[in-house]
Chains A and B, each alone.
Chain A
Amino acid sequence: MKSHTTLIRSCRSLGLLILLVGSLWGCKEPNIIETTTTDVNISGYMQLNSAEFSDFMKMLELTGNSGFLGAYGAYTVFAPTNEGVRAFMKEKGKSALEEFSVEELRALVRFHVLPDTISTPSFTDGKISKATMYGQFLTTGASNANGVSRYRINRQANIIRSNVRLGNGVLHVIDHVLEPASLTLAKMVEQDPQYSIFTQALKETGFYDTLNILPANSTKPNRTWFTLFAESNATLQNSDINSYADLKNKFSHTGDPKNKQDSLYLYVAYHILPDIKYVADVATNPSHTTLAPLEVITTRVDGETILLNADEINGVREPGTAIDRPVSDFSATNGVLHAVKTNYRIKIRLPVPIYWEITDQPEIRKMADVFRVPGKSFSFSPDMLQNVTFPTKTITYSVAGATSSDRYVYGDFFDVNLRSAEVPWIEFKSPLIVKGRYKVWICYRRNAVNDQQMSFNGEPLPRIFGTAPSPPYPDAVTIDEQEAQGWKQYTDPKDNRWTGRLLGTIEVKTTDVHTFRITALSNRGGSTGNRIWLDQIHIIPVDAPQTVPRFKRDGTPVFTP
C-alpha cells in the first residue's frame, strides 16, 4: 500500500514538473504584426536598397532632409545611384560629399524632388507640369543609345528603373545627378559666342536686364518666366546681317533701340514669350502672345518640324521659320532658350477684306459626294465640325438644286433652326484676320426668322437681325443710302431676298483666328419653323468699299456696283 501511494505521489509530482517545464517552453511570444502594410516609404525603400542609394541618402542626411521623405505625403523623387553621385563628385573635383557646402547640397536635393506624384505615362517631350522643390522645371524625353531607349530627364540623366510606387509617392532611379541651371537666360545667351549679335541687340534694347532677373526676384506679375527664340550669327548671316550695326540699320527706324516704339525694340520683343514654354508646349498651342504688344506668333506642326508663323494669308502660304530642335530646350534659371533656323520678324500686314464662305469646312470638303453637289444635304451633330460648334440638335448643310433660282454663293448654305429651344447659339472659328478695324456683314437669305445677335470674341455687335416682321429692303434709295441704312445686296444678279446686313464694327486687336457667335434671342415658330439660312460673313476693313464685289452663284466676284 505504501509503495502504491508513493508511486502516485511521485507520478503526480512528475506530472506537475512536466507541466511546469512544458508551460515555460511552450509559451512563445505571439508575433503581433502592428503595421497595416509592408509597403515602405521613400526613405525606407532607399534604406532597403542602401547598396544603390547610400550616397544619395548621405546627401539627404547632410541637408537634414531624410525625415520628410520618410513621412506621409505625395512626392516624386529622382534618386541617383551611387555611381551617379560618384561621377558627379569626380566631375566637381571633390572626394567626399562633406566637401560640398550645405547650401549646394540642399539645392541639389530640392532639384530631385517634386511635390506631386508624377509617373512616366505623363511624361511629354517638354517639361514636367510641376516644378521641382527647387523652383525650376525638369524636362523629359527619351533617348536611344546603342539600340536601347531610356527616358532622359533634363538631358542629364537616364532613368534606370521607373515608377516604383511607394507609400508616400513615386521613385525613379536615375544614373546621373541632375544639376539645376545656374545662368539666367540673359547670361546663357551671352556666354555663347554664336549669339553675339543677338546678345548685343538684347543689351541695347534693354531686354538683357529683363531676362537677367531670377523668378524669385521679379516684381512684375507676368515677367517671371520667359521663352527666348534666339537667332544665331549664322542664321542672321543668311539674311545678310553680319554685325549688330547691320541689324540696327535694318530694323531700328528711330535710331534709339530703347524706345518702346522703335522697331528694333519690337523685333527683339517679338522673339520673347512671357512664359516658360519648351518646344513641346510651343507645338501644342496654335498661337502665342509675345512681349511685343498685340503681336502673336502662330505655330504649325509639319511632320517632326515645328514651324513658326507659317500662315496662309489671303490664299498665299508663307513658309515660316523652323525651330532648330537639337539646339533648343536649354533650361535657364528663369526660362528656356530655343534657336530658330531662319530670321523672322513682325510682319506689317494690311487689313484685307475677308468674304468668308462659312460652309467651306474641311470635314464637308472631304465629303466629295455632298460638298457643293446640287440637291445634296447632310446633317451635322455638335462634335462633327471642328470650326463650327453648337450645343445641341443638328444643323444641315444644303446645296440648292441645279435648276433652282436660289442665289447662294456656290449654291450652298447652312440651314439652322436658331432659336433658344432648338439650337440656341452657333459659333464659328474665323480664318486668320489681320488686325485692324472692320465692318461685319452677315449675308443670308432674308426671311422672318428669330431675333439673332452676333458677338465677336464674346462682345455683342449692336444690330439685331432676323427680326419679325423683317424690315423691307429699301429698294427705292441709292446703293450708298442702302449701305448707310445697313443693307447691301451681295449676289449677282441682285436679289433682295439675299441681303447682307451690317451688324457693327469690330476692333481686331491681334492677327489671329477669332470666334464669331450667333445667339438666338427669341423662340418663335414650331420645332421646324423659322430656320435661318446662312451663306457668308463679310469682314471688310472700314475704309474699303463695302458693297462690292458681289458674287455670282459659282463664286466669281463682280466688281460693278
Chain B
Amino acid sequence: MKFFKSINKIILSGLLLGTCACDSWLYLEPQDAIVKQEFWQTKEQVESAVVGAYSSLIGGTNPTVGEQMFIWGELRADMVSPTPFASSSEIEIANANILDTNPVVNWRAFYRTINFCNTVLQFAPQTMEVDKTFEEAKLTNFLGEARSLRSLMFFYLVRSFGDVPLKLDATVSDDQDLQIPKSPQEAVLKQIRRDLIQAETETPITYGNTASDKGRVTKYTVNALQADVYLWSELYDSCVIACDKIINSNKFGLVQPWYRTLFVTGNSNESIFELQYGTQRHPFFLMLNPVQRFGAAPTVLEEVYTLDLMNPLNVDVRADGGALRSDGSIWKYMGVDRDTRRANVAPYPNWIVYRFADVLLMKAEALNQLGRGAEALAIVEQIRRRANALTATAKDPDSSDSDAIADYILEERARELAFEGKRWYDVLRNAKRNNYARQNILLEMVAKSAPVERQQTIVNKYRDQRSHYFPIYTFELQTNKNLVQNPFYQ
C-alpha cells in the first residue's frame, strides 16, 4: 500500500524533472532567415556577405549611402543650389541652419555598411576551417575588400562629423555594449590609414572582368582611397606614392569622349571605383528626376566654366551639355548625350567614387604642397587639355606661388569633378590645411553662395571651425548616452 502511494509521488516527481529539459520546445528558429550558427559554412556564403556589403551602399536605407555621398559632399558648397522642391531640411543645410533634428545628418546608413564589413572581418576566417575548398588567398581578398569598404565609410564620417565612434567589431548580440563614445578625428584617421596599408596587401589587382574590377575593391581602389586620406591628413609624400602606384600601373587613362564614356556607358578605363547601380535607381534619379530637388548654382556656367562669346563652337566639354545644362539642371548621369535626357528606367548609370582624373588632381595638390609646383601645373594642363578648357579659365601662376597654384587646382577640381560629391570636402581640406591657415577660402565661397538676407550670419557662423562639421543626429544622442554633441550645436 505504501508503495502505491509513493509511486504517485515518484511518477509526479519524474514528470517534474522531465519537463525541465523541455527548454528546447520553446526554442524557435526564424523561418525566413539563416541564423549565424548556420551561416559561414561555405566560401560562397562569405562571398555573398561581401557582395551584401557592396549592395548596402546602393539600397536598403532611405537615404542610401550613395545619395548621402552626394548631399554631404555638395549641399554646403557653391556648385549646387536647392530648388523650391527640395525638402526644408535640405534647404536648411544649404543655409547653414543645421539643427540636430535635421534628418540629413543621420549617419545610420554608413554605420550599417560598417557593421556588414565588421561582420565579414569577424566571421569569415572561421569559414576556412569548415569549408576545405576555401583558399587562404581568397579569404584574404574578401577581408581586404571589407576592410577597404569600412575605411571608405569611416573616411566619409570623419570628414563630415569630425569625431565619430570607432566601431571595429560586429554587432551580433544584445549583450554587447553599444554605448560607444566618440573617438577624436585623428584616431579614426590613424585607424583608416592602418587598415588601408593592410588592405593594400590583401586586395587583388583584378577580378578578371571589368564590371568587378570597377565595382569591387581592387588594389588600385585602395591606393586611390589612400591618396585621398593622406591628402586630408596632410601627409603629402605618402599621397604622391599612392597616386604613382595607380599612374605607373598603366591601366588607367583619361578617356574621350568625356561625357559618353564616363557617365553614360560607365565602367570606363578612367574609373577606379564605381557604385554599380544597374536595376537599383541611381541617386540622381531620386533627386533630380522627375522632380528636381537640386539644380546647378547660377554662377557655375558663367564663372566656373565661362563661355567663349566670340566663338560659340569653342566650348569646355564639361560645361553646357556635360556637367550641367544652360537651363540650370544638373546633367551628369542624366543624359544620353548633350541633348537627350536619359529615361528614368533601369538600367541606371553607375556612380563614380574615384576616377583617374581625381587621382591626378590629388597628386597635383600634394606635389604643390611639397614645393613641386611646376609638376603640379603640368598635371592641371593635362586635365584641361582633355576637356578643351577655355582660355578664360586658364591661370598662369608662378611655380613657387603655392597658394595661387592651390587655388588653381581647386578651381580645376570644381570644373572636372562637378556634382560628383567632392566640392565641399575639397574646399574644407584646402581651408583647414596648416591649422586653418587659409580659412578665407571657405568664407569667400560661403559668402558668394549664401542668400543675401543671411549672408553675414552665415559667414560669421563659418568663422567658428566647429561649424564645419555636422551635428550628431538627435536619435543617436538619445539612444547612445555616451555620445557628446558637437559643442557648436548645443
**Chain A residues within CB distance 8 Å of chain B:** 120-121, 123-126, 140-144, 147-149, 151, 161, 163, 280-281, 283-284, 301, 303-304, 325, 363, 366-369, 371, 373, 384
Contact = CB atoms under 8 A, between A and B. Distances in A.
Contacts of A120: 97, 99
Chain B: interface secondary structure?
helix
Contacts of B312: 368-369, 371, 373
Contact of A126 (B301, B447, B453, B458): B453
A304 B456 contact: yes
Contact of A125 (B309, B448, B453): B453
Interface in B443-490: 447-448, 452-467, 488, 490
Contact of B453 (A149, A280, A325, A384): A280
Nearest to A281: B453
A518 B80 CA distance: 35
A284 B457 CA distance: 15
A415 to B, nearest CB: 18
Given A121-B92, A373-B312, A147 B463 contact: yes
Nearest to A125: B456
Nearest to A121: B97
Interface string B292-326: 00000000011000011100110100001000001
Contacts of A369: 312-313, 315, 320
Contacts of B463: 144, 147, 149
Contacts of A371: 312
Nearest to A280: B453
A124 B308 contact: no
Interface string B421-455: 00000000000000000000000000110001111
A161 B326 CA distance: 44
A280 B454 contact: yes
Given A120-B97, A123-B457, A142-B456, 18 more contacts: A121-B92, A125-B455, A125-B457, A126-B453, A142-B457, A144-B464, A147-B464, A147-B465, A163-B99, A281-B453, A304-B447, A366-B302, A368-B309, A368-B312, A369-B312, A369-B313, A369-B315, A384-B327
11 contacts: A121-B92, A121-B95, A123-B457, A125-B454, A141-B460, A147-B463, A147-B464, A304-B455, A368-B309, A368-B312, A368-B320
A66 to B, nearest CB: 28
A280 B452 contact: yes
A143 B460 contact: yes
Contacts of A141: 456-457, 460
Interface of B: 92, 95, 97, 99, 301-302, 307-309, 312-313, 315, 320, 326-327, 447-448, 452-467, 488, 490
Contacts of A142: 456-458, 460-461
Query: Which residue, A141, A142, A163, A384, has most C-beta atoms of chain B within 10 A?
Result: A142
A427 B489 CA distance: 46
A366 B312 CA distance: 10
Given A124-B457, A368-B312, A363 B327 contact: yes
Nearest to A364: B326
A124 B313 CA distance: 44
A366 B453 CA distance: 27
A29 B308 CA distance: 85
A118 to B, nearest CB: 13
Smallest CB-CB A-B distances: 4 pairs: A149-B464, A142-B460, A144-B463, A368-B312
A149 B315 CA distance: 43
B326 A367 contact: yes
A303 B461 contact: no
Contacts of B315: 368-369
Contacts of B92: 121
B460 A366 contact: no
Contacts of A284: 452-453
A171 B71 CA distance: 31
Contact of A368 (B97, B99, B308): B308
A148 B463 CA distance: 7
Given A149-B488, A281-B453, A283-B453, A144 B326 contact: no
A104 B462 CA distance: 38
A124 B454 contact: yes
Contacts of A363: 326-327
A545 B95 CA distance: 52
A371 B311 CA distance: 12
A303 B97 contact: no
B447 to A, nearest CB: 5
A508 to B, nearest CB: 28
Contacts of B462: 149
Contacts of A366: 301-302, 307, 320, 326
A138 to B, nearest CB: 14
Contacts of A283: 452-453
Nearest to B459: A304
A141 to B, nearest CB: 5
A294 B447 CA distance: 34
A298 to B, nearest CB: 14
Nearest to A371: B312
Nearest to A122: B97
Contacts of B455: 125, 304
Contacts of A367: 320, 326
A163 B98 CA distance: 12
B460 A161 contact: no
A366 B461 CA distance: 34
Contacts of B457: 123-125, 140-142, 151
Nearest to A142: B460
A303 B326 CA distance: 23
B464 A148 contact: yes
Nearest to B457: A142
Contacts of B466: 148
A384 B292 CA distance: 13
Contacts of B320: 366-369
A149 B447 contact: no
Contacts of B461: 142, 144, 149
A136 B448 CA distance: 32
A318 B95 CA distance: 32
Contacts of B309: 368
Nearest to A140: B457
A140 B95 CA distance: 15
Contacts of A161: 490
A109 B100 CA distance: 30
A301 B97 CA distance: 22
Query: Which residue, B326, B455, B462, has most C-beta atoms of chain A within 10 A?
Result: B326
B447 A303 contact: yes
A368 B301 CA distance: 11
A303 B456 CA distance: 11
B389 to A, nearest CB: 15
A124 B85 CA distance: 22
B450 to A, nearest CB: 9
Contacts of A163: 99
Given A366-B326, A368-B315, A369-B313, A124 B453 contact: yes
A129 to B, nearest CB: 11
Nearest to A368: B312
B189 to A, nearest CB: 22
A405 B99 CA distance: 62
Contacts of A373: 312
Contacts of A121: 92, 95, 97, 99
A149 B460 contact: yes
A539 B68 CA distance: 52
Nearest to B321: A369
Query: Which residue, B99, B455, B488, has most C-beta atoms of chain A within 10 A?
Result: B455
Query: Which residue, A125, A148, A303, A373, has most C-beta atoms of chain B within 10 A?
Result: A125
Nearest to A386: B298
Contacts of A151: 457
A357 B331 CA distance: 30
A368 B307 contact: yes
Nearest to A149: B464
A142 B447 CA distance: 14
Contacts of B308: 368
Contacts of A143: 460
